[in-house]
Structure 1
């Protein structure tokens, strides 16, 4: 089953009461309105895109080790995926789909890294729960997401919905601000230039990870095993 088909199944179950969380009609309307507003804001169109220079970073992984973009790019191209957190079932499905393509990505000479505003403890939970073999980096206050132009602040009514679901972002992210990144994938060449960018303000929509492979082939770095 394709990734988007799986995400559509999750969305249908969530909206129709076949999910552990059972949102009310009003809560669903608030969530839909917030997504629509984010789309209409045009923020995704203003984010960094192919041809732009990628921001450099030094972030902690789930085990507290510092990971540097310079060190990663010295080894080959970088596939960077931003996701919301361990609490998001759409993000977890996306991470599992990326893990399924990890070997194909690495065979092309690239490294795969995920970035989330959540704490290191929650990143460890993400890795265990989704059986991931690639690093998850903690982006405190979504500062790196902000540098890419994909950080946004949740509206007040959506914050109340999240609280009712138990998704207390200040606790999950170990940061008082109610901010998140829009889900995004970037391919960054060894010279630090973005070769591919996909940003979607609708968190229920994600492209197939296999779409990254032709981009990496075009960079001509590695060989398929």
Structure 2
């Protein structure tokens, strides 16, 4: 069964929050989203044709692995997300499981999700969303920084998150509030970036159809 587009699922999620989240927190989130939309994609984001950066990552059990090792010589769709605490991330990851995982596997393309959270957060994401693909932690956002997609919530948003019981620094592997802009990168078998789609506003995501179209166009 095909899921609704991520955009529709995210819009429904946003509507549902209106009755559950305090008004001042919602206002902080909306103001930040408007600012992210206005700022757009950072100029420093890595471009196509660049070498995909790598680093020592952690798997869901805390073992070390590099992105290159996780790819295993295959092309890959690498999904950067904020963490298990982000409901929009979970919507996207579940949709990729339903609509991309099997198709990519048949094509010999790895699907890998990466966030800055601790391995137990990665394990929670994998189990709660019933993911069959690889989920890794990038302590310190090493790959994210090299790609130019690292950001940090505004002070009002950090306050709003705290009022809801969330401390991103506590769940991140490096103890900071630094996170990544949701991003999908297509990497070829040689480790070269062939396509990158960055979403500064975390309520929007790359749709599965966009990823499949990019695969057809770039990894022939």
- TM beyond 0.5: yes
**Aligned residue pairs, count:** 215
In the TM superposition, residue 57 of structure 1 has moved relative to its aligned partner by 2.4
In the TM superposition, residue 201 of structure 1 has moved relative to its aligned partner by 0.9
The 5-angstrom pairing of residues 6-45 of structure 1 reads 6-14=9-17, 16-17=18-19, 19=20, 22-24=21-23, 26-45=24-43
What is the distance in 1 between the residues matched to 2:200 and 2:56? 25
What is the distance in 1 between the residues matched to 2:137 and 2:67? 14
Q: Give 1:49's aligned residue.
A: 47
What's the RMSD between the two structures over aligned residues? 1.7
Q: Give 2:69's aligned residue.
A: 71
In the TM superposition, residue 191 of structure 1 has moved relative to its aligned partner by 1.9
Q: Tell me if the contact between 1:186 and 1:194 (Cα under 8 Å) persists in the aligned partners.
A: yes
What is the distance in 2 between the residues matched to 1:133 and 1:203? 23
Runs of 4+ that moved beyond 4 A: none
What is the distance in 1 between the residues matched to 2:56 and 2:139? 11
Q: Tell me if the contact between 1:110 and 1:216 (Cα under 8 Å) persists in the aligned partners.
A: no
In the TM superposition, residue 45 of structure 1 has moved relative to its aligned partner by 4.2
What is the distance in 1 between the residues matched to 2:194 and 2:216? 11
What is the distance in 1 between the residues matched to 2:167 and 2:212? 36
2:144 aligned counterpart, secondary structure = helix
Q: Tell me if the contact between 1:84 and 1:183 (Cα under 8 Å) persists in the aligned partners.
A: yes
In the TM superposition, residue 154 of structure 1 has moved relative to its aligned partner by 2.0
What is the distance in 2 between the residues matched to 1:12 and 1:164? 20
Residue 106 (structure 1) aligned with residue 105 (structure 2)? yes
Residue deviations 1:132-164 (CA, integer Å, cap 9, x gap):
111111111222211110111222111111111
In the TM superposition, residue 48 of structure 1 has moved relative to its aligned partner by 1.3
Q: Tell me if the contact between 2:76 and 2:109 (Cα under 8 Å) persists in the aligned partners.
A: yes
1:64 aligned counterpart, secondary structure = coil
The TM-score with structure 1 as length reference comes to: 0.88
> Which range is displaced more, 165-174 or 118-127?
165-174
Structure 1 residues without counterparts, runs of 5 or longer: 221-225
Q: Give 1:166's aligned residue.
A: 165
Structure 2 residues without counterparts, runs of 5 or longer: none
What is the distance in 1 between the residues matched to 2:125 and 2:156? 27
